[in-house]
Amino acid sequence: MSAPNGGFAIDARGLSKTFGPRTAVRDLSLTVKRGEIFGFLGPNGAGKSTSIKMLLGLVHPTGGQGSVLGAPLGAPSVRRDIGFLPEDFRFYDWLTATELLVLHGRLAGLTDAKARARAPEVLELVAMSPHAHRRLRGFSKGMLQRLGLAQALIHEPALIFLDEPTSGLDPMGRRMVRDVIRLQRDRGATVFLNSHLLSEIEITCDRVAFIKDGEIVASRDMADASAAGARHVSVRARNASAAMLGRIAPPATNPSLSGDEIRFDVPFEDAIADVVRALVEAGAQVVRVSPERTSLEDEFMRLVGEDHAL
């Protein structure tokens, strides 16, 4: 298969969706490589769920085009290779957890025997084994969410869309989601994750994009520290003094002194060593150098927080 998308799991080009006068998503272009864990961040109403639904073929785009797993959006041929946890997972509540999973497995193309074999495995993955034969109607919100995650994974899809997977989950549940995502990565699957839980994204994702008012406003490669922009550096020296600040020269900027901490900013990591050397030459007894990356939360607030109103 020679797809023009270079083997991307997701390739979106200028996708837009309007609902009447309201633009939910505007000119969405992004690519996600196979095997990548991609985080889609944005405040309520930014267009995250609408974007996922367009990529899944559940919502018809008003403009633009795209492909998933090398097939056009919504192509039936790749549906069995895709898993989806919707943002508000609901299902026939008279089914037991196992019955629901077997049904989903069968809908995703598994044989009955395979679906029955997989059901206990995915229940264990989401820590729901004790509830295998209980009916959904008696489940709490978090239990339903766990089951929703299990049904998205039962057929071991190559591409998994998770819309707010940690919604309603307790701290153990949030850790479980993290572990499950890592397991998917280990088996080579691609995960597209919507969230506004920044710390979760920070720990889990290879790459993130920020969406605001239907438009991508920034993206960041989590492995590439320099992409985080300016870094704050704090150098602790026993004899720190204001006189030492004069040794901090460009590209380092914003020198300041607070107690025995000398602080400054650098545009890239390699600039730190030169500043530390200059400080030592000025007689500083350096005991600690701490570079601080701008956290995703800082960046999120800067990009989407300031003037955001629903």
The count of residues interacting with Mg ion (CB under 5 A) is 3
In three-state secondary structure terms, 85 is strand
**Virtual torsion, Cα 213, 219, 225, 231, nearest 10 deg:** -40
Minimum CB distance to Mg ion, residue 46 (Å): 8
Q: Tell me which of Mg ion, ligand ATP, none is bound by residue 155, counting a contact when its beta carbon lies within the kind-specific cut-off of 5 to 8 angstroms.
A: none
Pairwise CA distance, residues 149 & 95, whole Å = 16
Residue-wise burial string across 225-247, b where 16 or more C-beta atoms lie within 10 A, e elsewhere:
eeebeebebebbbeebeeebbeb
Pairwise CA distance, residues 47 & 214, whole Å = 5
Which region among 28-36, 37-45, 248-256, 289-297 touches ligand ATP (by CB under 6 A)?
Answer: 37-45
Residue 22 is a binding residue for ligand ATP (CB under 6 A): yes
According to CB under 6 A, which residues from 188 to 227 bind ligand ATP?
A: 196
* Per-residue contact string for residues 69-108; x = within reach of Mg ion by CB under 5 A: ------------------x---------------------
Residue 47 is a binding residue for ligand ATP (CB under 6 A): yes
The 253-258 sheet, strands edge to edge: 253-258, 261-266, 231-237, 286-292
Among 87, 179, 261, 269, contact with ligand ATP (rule: CB under 6 A) = 87
- Which residues make beta-bridge pairs with 197? none
Residue 24 is a binding residue for ligand ATP (CB under 6 A): yes
Residue 49 is a binding residue for Mg ion (CB under 5 A): yes
Amino acid at site 2: S
Residues interacting with ligand ATP, by CB under 6 A? 19, 22, 24, 42, 44-50, 87, 196
Residues interacting with Mg ion, by CB under 5 A? 48-49, 87
